[in-house]
Amino acid sequence: MKGQLEQLKKEFVELVDKVASREALEELKTQFLGRKGKLSGLMKEMASLADGERKLVGAVANEVKEAIEAAFGEAEQKVSKASWSATAAKEWIDVTEPTFHARPHGTLHPVTQVQQELEELFTSMGFMVLDGPELESDYYNFTALNIPPSHPARDMQDTFYIEGKTGAAGKAGSEETGWVMRTHTSSFQVRAMREHGVPLRAIVPGRCFRNEATDARHEHTFHQLEGVVVGEGISFAHMKGVFQAVADHLYGKGTKIRLSPKFYPFVEPGVRGELECFLCKGKGCRVCKQSGWLEAMPGGMIHPNVLRQAGIDPEKYSGFAFGFGLTRLVMLKYGIDDIRHLESGDLRFLNQF
């Protein structure tokens, strides 16, 4: 009897070793441990044994049963692991494999690149970067900047007037009537002063619009970068310092700048800020039209009338403002000879940046 049990155990261990699938394993289990299985058959025979012997054989029978169950457990683990690795092998991908179908990703527009470069510089000097509306009221674009409706300076900046648009206030003569596409980022000067008060140090980069007949030097859409600084004791010297910092940053340390008088209605005095031509270093070339200088940084001390429009006392505070031609700076930096390339959306042009 004992021998038969040992034989059964040996038989099971040999068979279970060869099992490869879950189904075969289940079948083997029924064959040996099931109600009508080989082990129960032997256990039934035990009933006919004498008491002493039955006890002895019973102990062996339990041992065999446990051994068979343990072997079954192991085999079950082995089978499930094997089926898992079969799935894994089927679904395996190499994530490091190079792909030949990568989507090409674009680059930043050259205007955006120079704008971000300048934003970084101005932020390091404590300026806020503000964003103003492109559709602006006639008031903020002209009147608040010392250009009332009858002023001849309006002729210098013909733009797109928007019909039928009235603002929240909507009343004739109010600040929110007569809408235009802003002709300059200066339109945000008074808004910025009203919103943020004094002291103020801010730049406003953005798109501007003019009703232009387009050619290599004129475009209906272009970019400016406005700067406004207002506080106690702000002088011309501060403005010159900022211009020098921008020139050094964009075109290298020691780039010469030159300021000469120029009229703008919203500054007094106003300056035509010029950079030494970075191509010919002042000797004269095609880009600078043989003058050795490039006009790129107009500015001046904010007119007292403009400060008053913003509710700031010009007796107590002073400030300066400038409106860099961002588009012009980009054209100079990359030697772009036709302004129309910038808004063309032509990939042959844009892919170069």
Question: Which residues sit at the interface with Zn ion, rule CB under 5 A?
Answer: 277, 279-280, 285, 288
Shortest distance in whole angstroms from residue 295 CB to Zn ion: 12
- Cβ pair 181, 136 in contact under 8 A: yes
Task: Select 319 or 325, whichever has its Cβ closest to Zn ion.
Answer: 325
For residues 176 and 63, what is the distance between their CA atoms, to the nearest angstrom? 97
- Cβ pair 198, 312 in contact under 8 A: yes
Shortest distance in whole angstroms from residue 280 CB to Zn ion: 3
Task: Select 24 or 285, whichever has its Cβ closest to Zn ion.
Answer: 285
Positive or negative, the CA dihedral 152, 158, 164, 168 is negative
- Cβ pair 276, 259 in contact under 8 A: no
Task: Select 166 or 291, whichever has its Cβ closest to Zn ion.
Answer: 291
Shortest distance in whole angstroms from residue 292 CB to Zn ion: 6
Task: Select 10 or 289, whichever has its Cβ closest to Zn ion.
Answer: 289
Shortest distance in whole angstroms from residue 241 CB to Zn ion: 25
Specify the length of the chain in residues.
353
Residue 151 CB neighbours (<10 A): 14
Task: Select 271 or 277, whichever has its Cβ closest to Zn ion.
Answer: 277
Task: Select 226 or 276, whichever has its Cβ closest to Zn ion.
Answer: 276
Shortest distance in whole angstroms from residue 285 CB to Zn ion: 3
Shortest distance in whole angstroms from residue 275 CB to Zn ion: 10
Task: Select 55 or 289, whichever has its Cβ closest to Zn ion.
Answer: 289
Shortest distance in whole angstroms from residue 112 CB to Zn ion: 26
Shortest distance in whole angstroms from residue 302 CB to Zn ion: 32
Task: Select 28 or 277, whichever has its Cβ closest to Zn ion.
Answer: 277
Task: Select 203 or 294, whichever has its Cβ closest to Zn ion.
Answer: 294
- Cβ pair 191, 161 in contact under 8 A: no
What's the CA angle centered on 298, arms 160 and 123, to 5 degrees? 95
Shortest distance in whole angstroms from residue 279 CB to Zn ion: 5
